[in-house]
Amino acid sequence: MYKGTEGQWAFFLHRLSGLAILAYFLLHVISISLIIFGEEAYMRVHHLYDLWPFRIGLIFVTAGVAYHAFNGLRIMAMDFTGKGVAYQRQSWYAVLAITALITLYTLFKNIPRIMGGY
């Protein structure tokens, strides 16, 4: 593994979260299109999403979307201003902190749903 610093990991996580979001959207397209096989098939698959592994997955999705969105703003700041480049390290830690806060809030909200019931 190349010993890069913050920038390398910011890039790596951005790619990873981007791919995860793409996979999540594709799953949406596939599961919604199941309606062509009738309501019963559609509902049978959609009930699966109430199972706990999917609810844990939701926390990861939120983390991925939050990271990708805020790091995207960081990249825009770098592309459009010299200041963005000068403070790229600090801004990455800010992105991580915001992502952690959003993820913790989602976790807090989702624990009852993971334990069972809505």
Measured in whole angstroms, the distance separating CA 30 from the mean position of its chain's CA atoms is 19
Q: Which of 12, 37, 52, 93 binds another protein (CB under 8 A)?
A: 12
- Does the footprint of another protein cover residue 20 (CB under 8 A)? no
For tokens 């993971």, what's the residue? 114
- Does the footprint of another protein cover residue 108 (CB under 8 A)? no
Pick the closest to residue 42 from 33, 53, 51 (CA basis): 33
- Does the footprint of another protein cover residue 19 (CB under 8 A)? no
Residues in the chain: 118
| Site track for another protein across 62-101, x = CB under 8 A | -------------x--xxx-x-xxx-x-------------
